[in-house]
Structure 1
Amino acid sequence: MKTVLFAGLYHETHSFLSDPTGLAAFKATAFNVGEAAIANNLGNGSPSDGFLSTALSRGWTVLPTIQMAAMPSGPVEDEAIRVFEGTFFEALEREAERIDGIFLILHGAMVSETSDDVEGQVLARIRAVLERKGLVVPVVGVLDLHANVSQAMVDNSTLLCAYRENPHTDARETAVRAAIHLDELMSGTDVVQVHRPTRYVLPPTGVGSMNEPMRSVLAAARRIEAADPDIAGINVMAGYAYSDIADCGFSFNCSTRGPVAIASAYLDELVEVLEANLAAGYPQENTLDEALRQADALPDGAGPILLIEPADNIGGGTPGDATDLLGPLLATGRSGIVAALNDPEAVEECRAAGIGSEITLRIGAKVDRHHGAPITFSGRVKNTTDGRFELELKNSHLASMIGTSADMGASAVVENEQAVILLTSKKMPPMDLGQLHSQGVRPEEARYVVVKAAVSHKDAYDPIARASFYVDTAGLCTSNLVRLPYRKLTGKRLSL
């Protein structure tokens, strides 16, 4: 019987957001210590569930330590890192001599107040503990496709295994695949990891797995794996563009049982494929006027027009309260609009007024000065709820972050002759239609749906849409990366 130490530390950090991510943000999303890390994850469709289900089916003894996750947001406060490290390393010191492996659910783009490479820091400390004790124990980590991978992460792990789909419909599956690799490593298989950073930083809108350049690069990686049995796996990591760190950007990683030189040559090939398709990784977006003109020219058809607002991509960390699209759209006088805004103050006003009340609100753009200005909206309070819902897509991008149960906090729906607006107390990425359906909102029946996302919405929203248009607006998840005040991306390329 094999014994595996298990932990999770998951956060995608946006360096330019002013609000830090404290311990409370983790406790609001996922904070499980000891046996709770099993009880609260097993069966929830997350990567943690993928590992735990595989481990238990193989008869392993799982020693849970701590599992923490928070929604994408600003730099993580050191207190949260200290809490994780205190619990995890106490368990590692205590259990090191009896474990056969270590399994970690990570993101790969986590930045704290004092560290640009939290995952590399944790992995280095794990290796130091094992070496001090004279132990050789495989360390396997699951990474998000948007990981900014450092050499320290590679040097101090045995095998890293990244998602292959964006949206992340394969997150749980990736953890299963990683657990199988861990089984092989615990049984004596040896692998070496080869890492290849690149100088390219691509916006989230440019790294969907069904579009170039990701489509060609991922296909080439799968061909190499199929042709060479020595290759345990190739990770194609798109990177997370909003982390202002030296390791930001697109990278490759190959785990091989064979010659390192051959693995390195494969990564050279993949860099060439990326460069041949690079132009598609920097997509051009419409102004709102351009998007509406194109929408007006479409033939009649069923389904809404999606107006995609990547600059306020909640899944990328922004506040979810930008008004730079919604305000001008309402000003056109158009109707049939559905939108969602994160605005706890407005929610409380609606709850105080009560369902059926007529109310005038100042909504949106309250977190910072980067996402527009508050707009006035007068309408009727249609609904108020606790904001909890079950995901309709059980393997969705959102499930990779939080499992299959979601909590938007206290929520309210307001409507007038132009629009139906969902107001939430906690920002929630638009990755599942259950978000709106649970609040009595039918996006399928709208003329226009404002979607605060880059790619992660596609599995949920594309099937109901007549067409979609990306709109260039104000916000810190802009696809035009040259607008952002980077300081640490020496030698990196942000545009064509």
Structure 2
Amino acid sequence: MTFQIGIVGIYHESNTFLGNSTEWEDFEGGHLLTGNHIIEEYRNAYHEIGGVVEVLSKEADVDLIPIFYAEATPGGKISTRASGKLLRNLEDYLVKAGHLDGLMVLPHGAAVSEDYPDFDGKWLRLVRELVGENVPIVGTIDPHCNLSDEMAAAVNALIAYKTNPHIDQRQTGRDAALLLLGMLRGEHRPVMVAVQTQVAISIEMQHTGSEPCLSLYRLAEEIATQPRVLAVSIVLGFPYADVYEMGSSIIVVTDDDTPQAARLAGRLKSYLETHHGVFSGKKIGLRELPVLVSKADKPLLLLDMGDNVGGGSPGDSTFLLDFLEECDFGKGFMCIYDPEVVDLFSQVCAGDSLSVQIGGKTDRLHGNPVSVTAELRAMVDGKFSEFAPRHGGQVSFDMGLTAIVHTNKNNTIMLTSRRIVPFSLQQLLSFGLDPCSYQLIVAKGVHAPLAAYMTVCKDLIRVNTPGITTADVASLCFTKRRKPLFPFEQIS
């Protein structure tokens, strides 16, 4: 017998605190792929689709059917227009695919649309309705998922990446594909228990390679060795979505043993809630920064947590640009989204200087525009590729038309016309910039940049800058989250 196995996915991390919405055109400018274009893009990528393709394309009894995949850079809620087009395309392409014996689904897990607060639950339920209750569905999720009951009910099993930065996405795809194959061949009967906790792990404490997450993940590894356990996932949660499901969750998948899955999930939940205090983090603000920077080894990575593009922020916060320009700690590098200033530099020649107002165009929450006089070093198309295992697993990146300028304060600023996640050193190397030549490098992220930038930086400081991705989530206005939830409320 040959198994017809499909691949579908809608992948977005939606920040509900951003005023701008994510539009259909953002998916078109990201990855909007159908058919074999999905395999061509990800076959060799360190991405979950790459892992799925690696496993299933080698099986003689499998016909792999890539159907539909849409991904956009994290941003605001998906607009009603965009969500409608995504759902219609998903349904049309899934129906055209015909009979399926099994399905791989690829949600992020933190997608919110203007009309569906649980957009992942919405499209996964649509998939289930279209293929029927008897078709096995297995999915991968980002651990920054805000897990809902609807998501869990629509599939047979979900497996989250185990690392943050996410460098195990391809392996997670392999694991999920093998689990689906086991179901189709009658080797396993997965049952899944998913439980929400009373904790929202603070964003700066979500590094899986250090404490306190390290001990939590070691316990999960121990549980994964228990008989009949097929998968264990820690869902760290995405704190920048004002939805009921916001917070940390646990998933345990066993082989036809629901009581064991519930018991083991409860054990992890109990550990997290008992040790909740150590997951709240200690914030470093702008006032403490000069002293800490003066003592740190260089090159030093400064992580702009309040303007974390990977968390949906606007990418034009200026607090750390102001710091680079005002404090003399050596040559610095920073990337800022500012299409207006890119347009100004596009009208002059390399070597020319302009006095411009950089950044701070979105709102005052992310700082005021900073006045600089800068020399244009190069105008580039902003396209680059990454083939090493890096957070996100993407291969192709596009910053749009980009101006590389050098300020009279000895800093290099990369001005982009599209928001860009700082996941790859190729963002510098591809355009002739040597990251090792800088004393300070600013990256607009929290953990994701580490996989790339800590190959050249000797130290790092996570800075709790103001913004819609501030580490101090208690300062954000939530109206829909569940209660009680630490750190907003104390729990016993």
Q: Confirm or deny a common fold (TM above 0.5).
A: yes
1:452-491 equivalences in 2 (<5 Å): 452-491=444-483
The answer to whether residue 138 in structure 2 is matched with residue 136 in structure 1 is no
Please, which of 162, 178, 193 is the counterpart of residue 160 of structure 2?
162
CA drift of 1:39 comes to: 3.1
Residue equivalent to 1:185: 183
What per-residue deviation string (whole Å, max 9, x for no partner) do you get for residues 124-166 of structure 1?
Answer: 22333344xxx61101111001111111111110111111100
Q: Which residue of 1 aligns with 2:211?
A: 212
User: Equivalent residue for 1:119?
Assistant: 120
- Asked if 1:494 corresponds to 2:492, the answer is no
- Corresponding residue for 1:87? 89
Deviation (angstroms), 1:276: 4.2
Q: Which moved more, 1:136-145 or 1:431-440?
A: 431-440
Correspondence list, 1:262-277, <5 A: 262-277=260-275
Indicate the SS of the match to 1:107: coil
- Report the CA distance shift for 1:350/1:269 in structure 2 as closer, same or farther (over 3 A): same
TM-fit CA distance, 1:83: 2.4
Distance of 2:55 and 2:285 partners within structure 1? 47
Q: TM (normalized to structure 1)?
A: 0.93
Residue in 1 aligned with 2:75?
Answer: 73
Tell me, what secondary structure is at the counterpart of 1:340?
A: strand
SS at match of 2:343: helix
> How far apart, in 1, do the equivalents of 2:164 and 2:277 lie?
18
2:244 maps to 1:246: yes
Residue of structure 1 in register with 2:339 after alignment: 344
Render the CA deviation track for 1:383-421: whole Å, top value 9, x for unaligned. 111011122x6211032xxx2221111111111343111
Superposed CA deviations along residues 262-320 of structure 1, whole A, max 9, x for unmatched, are 2211112112322344333222222334222123235xx5x312222101111111011
The alpha carbon displacement at 1:91 in A equals 4.0
AA partner of residue 115 (structure 1): Y
Identity of aligned residues (%): 27
Q: How does 1:271-310 map to 2 (within 5 A)?
A: 271-298=269-296, 303-310=298-305
Q: Match of 2:245, SS? A: coil
Tell me, in whole angstroms, the C-alpha distance in 1 between the residues paired with 2:72 and 2:266: 35
Match of 1:363 in 2: 358
Match of 2:253 among 252, 255, 258: 255
Higher mean C-alpha deviation, range 102-111 or range 211-220: 211-220
SS at match of 1:441: coil
Aligned-residue offset at 1:94:
4.9
Q: Which runs of 5+ in 1 are unaligned?
A: none
1:9–1:67 contact (8 Å) kept in structure 2? yes
- 1:333–1:418: 8 Å Cα contact kept in structure 2? no
Residue aligned with 1:311, SS:
helix
Structure 1 residue ranges, 4+ long, deviating more than 6 angstroms after superposition = none
Q: Distance in 1 between matches of 2:95 and 2:452?
A: 44
In structure 2, the CA distance between the partners of 1:353 and 1:201, relative to structure 1 (3 Å rule), is same
| Change beyond 3 A, Cα 1:417–1:327 | closer
Secondary structure of 1:193's counterpart equals strand
* Paired residues of 1:66 and 1:84 also in contact (CA < 8 A): no
Instruction: Quote the offset at 1:427 in angstroms.
Output: 1.5
Counterpart residue type for residue 439 of structure 2:
R
The structural deviation recorded for 1:324 is: 1.6
The secondary structure found in structure 2 opposite 1:464 is: coil
- For 2:416, the equivalent position in structure 1 comes to 424
1:390 is aligned to 385
The TM-score normalised by the length of structure 2 is 0.94
Residues 200 and 487 of structure 2 are in contact (CA less than 8 Å); yes or no, is this contact kept in structure 1? yes
Unpaired segments ≥5 residues, structure 2? none
What is the CA–CA distance in structure 2 between the aligned matches of 1:269 and 1:309, rounded to whole Å? 35
Aligned residues: 484
**1:285–1:92 distance in 2 versus 1, CA, 3 Å:** same
Report the secondary structure of 2:346's partner residue.
helix
Give the letter for the 2:381 counterpart.
Answer: D
